[in-house]
Structure 1
Amino acid sequence: MAVQLDDAVDKRAPRIGKGGAPPSGRATGTPRTRTGRATPYLLLLPALLATAVFLGWPMVRNVLLSFQTLNMKELIQHLTVWNGTGNFQEILGNEEFWRVTLRTLVFTAVNVVLIMALGVLIGLLLARLGTKMRLTLSVALVLAWAMPVIAATTVFQWVFDSRYGVVNWVLDQLGWHAMAHYDWVGTQLSTFFVITLLIVWQSLPFVALNLYAATTTIPKELYEAARMDGAGTWKVFTTVTFPFLKPFFLATTFLEVIWVFKAFPQIFAINKGGPDRLTETLPIYAFTEGVGNLHFGMGAAISLLTIAVLLAMTAYYLRLTLKQEEDEL
């Protein structure tokens, strides 16, 4: 009977908070106040305002500019000449635009494949090295990653200089005397080789360090079980490491695609898209047409088409991500 009374008292007695304070509305089932519901939006407001000012407004201006004819004459006379979709029709009907687009896609694919392959190998190497060697390699990767883009590009220009470059000197000393004064930015293929080497060198630290950090989350028991079953290095990677880190590979590959696709300072600083505009990618093409040739409306239209290509790739990545989440459920 005493137990039943105690239970009845517990059920009827109101719950009180710490120090005798009344319970929160959520505990008693009362609705949250308007201020409580608005708090997350108030906290997001500064970031949203900054995004609207520094990203949204320039984007709106760029969209408006893409529907105008704005050359030097209109700029000097402060004229606003609307031409509808004329800029887009001219660009899409130009064979040069499609050549540059194809070149950009191939350039991006080659760089991303090299970055991911070498980055994965270095990340797996970090996981196997001892503490001192891992620290040394990690410091070297961080220093390469921390170097400013223009500074790194300038170093590569010196290294591959036709007269005083270290690369030409080393090749000459090794017996390739024809390379003593070779112009690395004189042809399309050699210029892309230097640019690719630069971009891969700058991107490897991000992939390698992130992969190493991700491997530390894999239970060691999985590796021990795989080795007990007789699995070799490649089998362990394909059956344990890769399935466990598949979300990491998807996210990192997507980030590298965006980073390489919109690469501008490396290509422009090396040779400004030369020789003969044969190494122009879409960002360089938009800048050359817009600022270099003073066709600002045309450059704005090309930049919007570049964003459209990136959005298409983003949609494909999101589709893969959603499909993977559905398979895991």
Structure 2
Amino acid sequence: MSVQTEQADADGVSVRKGEAPPPRGAGSATKNGGGGRRSPRARGSFAPYALLLPATIVTIVLLGWPLVKNGMLSFQNLNPKQLILHLTEWNGVENYKETLTNEDFWRVVLRSFLFTTVNVVLIMVLGTLIGLLLARLGQRMRVTLLIGLVLAWAMPIIAATTVFQWLFAQRFGVVNYLFVQLGFEGMADHNWLGTQFSTFAVVTLVIVWQSIPFVAINLYAASTTIPRELYEAAALDGADSWKIFRTVTFPFLKPFLWATLFLEVIWVFKSFAQVFAINQGKPDRLTETLPVYAYIEGFGNQHFGMGAAISILTILILLLLTAYYLRTVIKQEEDEL
């Protein structure tokens, strides 16, 4: 009786000598339970996209479609006449030409950048100091301060602006009353909203007061991730507080500072409610930032196409800022690698 020998094919399937080998891939198909069925991992690869779909649809409906309509409106000549008669008059890029050749627009752009710079610097410096203070306080004081920060952060924008209007009111204002009590009789009827500088000072107080909690709480949360051993080692080496911050705290907080800085720049640059509610761009339209300028040109002067064009230009400026931020972050990540 002859002994039958076996040889293994490339897929690891036994083949008797003298028999035809099975088709290529039959072994792998058998192992996977059939060639036409996908693995559970492949079937589950669509789950993240399915979860993102509702949020994507809501974003497109609530943000995408209004943006498209606003873009179409920026290419139209839409004034009260066309609005009443339901006329659509396309005028191409005339709204953009008129805006970009208007000196007032560029003055508002410069004013918006200066306003954003001052606010963001104050917000980041004060917010960082308070965040570091939270890390050093005891538990009771920390909880008390955190509650105060959250309450300030949670207050609605218009409500907060109304409170500051009452504080700086020309008559019966708390700030003027306190100055009189301190001996400054000339401040009894001082108009804080009468000049460009003082109006911006009040608006800056509102925005900084509302923005500090976000920065402080973020930085405090980030500081809790820094290993305590690094501080102990720096103290043993004789490093003072500034050197410890520069060599230990700041390198860990740098990514959080960059992200928070970018968010604050966007938030302050597009702030509308505080600036408009305080003084509606007065006196003499000297306190208008780009969002307020777009609103007054569009709805105040009823040049709706012009207002839409200004808002689109504002969005483009924000996109340029975003692109610069992303480029900086990517470059930092490449340098670290």
Whether the TM-score (by the shorter chain) exceeds 0.5 is yes
Structure 1 or 2: larger helix share?
1
Given candidates 92, 95, 120, the residue that maps to 1:112 is 120
Unaligned regions of 5+ residues in structure 1, if any?
1-10, 13-21
- Aligned residue in 1 for 2:289: 281
Mapping of residues 59-70 of structure 1, within 5 Å = 59-70=67-78
- Structure-1 separation of matches of 2:256 and 2:319: 21
Q: Do structure 1's residue 131 and structure 2's residue 144 form an aligned pair?
A: no
- Structure-2 separation of matches of 1:141 and 1:43: 34
SS in 2 for 1:245: helix
C-alpha deviation, 1:169, in angstroms? 0.5
- Structure-2 separation of matches of 1:33 and 1:170: 69
- Aligned residue in 1 for 2:268: 260
Q: Do structure 1's residue 298 and structure 2's residue 306 form an aligned pair?
A: yes
Residue by residue over 1:231-272, the C-alpha shift from the partner in whole angstroms, topping out at 9 and shown as x without a partner, is 111111111111111100000000000110011110111000
C-alpha deviation, 1:103, in angstroms? 0.2
Q: Do structure 1's residue 205 and structure 2's residue 216 form an aligned pair?
A: no
- Structure-2 separation of matches of 1:204 and 1:271: 23
Amino acid at match of 1:316: Y
Quickly say closer, same or farther: Cα 1:158–1:37, change in 2 above 3 A: same
Mapping of residues 199-278 of structure 1, within 5 Å = 199-278=207-286
Amino acid at match of 1:90: E
C-alpha deviation, 1:43, in angstroms? 2.0
Given candidates 302, 316, 322, the residue that maps to 1:308 is 316
SS in 1 for 2:98: helix
Query: Which shifted more, 134-143 or 30-39?
Result: 30-39
- Structure-1 separation of matches of 2:75 and 2:38: 54
C-alpha deviation, 1:39, in angstroms? 2.8
Given candidates 28, 50, 63, the residue that maps to 2:58 is 50
- Structure-2 separation of matches of 1:206 and 1:288: 30
C-alpha deviation, 1:31, in angstroms? 5.0
C-alpha deviation, 1:32, in angstroms? 5.7
SS in 1 for 2:89: coil
Residue by residue over 1:113-148, the C-alpha shift from the partner in whole angstroms, topping out at 9 and shown as x without a partner, is 000000011011111111111111111111111111
- Structure-2 separation of matches of 1:33 and 1:244: 36
- Aligned residue in 2 for 1:3: none
Query: Which shifted more, 42-51 or 288-297?
Result: 42-51
- Aligned residue in 2 for 1:151: 159
Amino acid at match of 1:38: F
- Aligned residue in 1 for 2:106: 98
Quickly say closer, same or farther: Cα 1:223–1:69, change in 2 above 3 A: same
TM-score by length of 2: 0.88
Q: Do structure 1's residue 72 and structure 2's residue 85 form an aligned pair?
A: no
- Aligned residue in 1 for 2:92: 84
SS in 2 for 1:206: helix
Quickly say closer, same or farther: Cα 1:24–1:58, change in 2 above 3 A: farther
C-alpha deviation, 1:279, in angstroms? 0.3
Q: Which 4+ stretches in 1 moved above 4 angstroms?
A: 22-25, 29-35
Unaligned regions of 5+ residues in structure 2, if any?
1-11, 14-29
C-alpha deviation, 1:149, in angstroms? 0.5
C-alpha deviation, 1:49, in angstroms? 1.1
Cα RMSD of the aligned pairs, angstroms, is 1.9
Amino acid at match of 2:287: T
- Aligned residue in 1 for 2:23: none
Q: Do structure 1's residue 186 and structure 2's residue 194 form an aligned pair?
A: yes
Which protein is bigger by CA-based radius of gyration? 2
C-alpha deviation, 1:52, in angstroms? 1.2
Given candidates 27, 30, 40, the residue that maps to 2:48 is 40
C-alpha deviation, 1:53, in angstroms? 0.8
What number of residue pairs does the alignment pair up?
307
- Structure-2 separation of matches of 1:239 and 1:24: 55
Given candidates 141, 144, 147, the residue that maps to 2:149 is 141
- Structure-2 separation of matches of 1:30 and 1:87: 55
- Structure-1 separation of matches of 2:41 and 2:321: 42
SS in 2 for 1:96: helix
- Aligned residue in 1 for 2:182: 174
- Structure-2 separation of matches of 1:56 and 1:24: 44
C-alpha deviation, 1:24, in angstroms? 8.2
Amino acid at match of 2:283: P
SS in 2 for 1:49: helix
Quickly say closer, same or farther: Cα 1:167–1:24, change in 2 above 3 A: farther
- Structure-1 separation of matches of 2:82 and 2:43: 51
Amino acid at match of 1:313: L
- Structure-2 separation of matches of 1:229 and 1:162: 56
- Structure-2 separation of matches of 1:115 and 1:97: 27
C-alpha deviation, 1:33, in angstroms? 8.0
C-alpha deviation, 1:38, in angstroms? 3.0
Q: Do structure 1's residue 121 and structure 2's residue 129 form an aligned pair?
A: yes
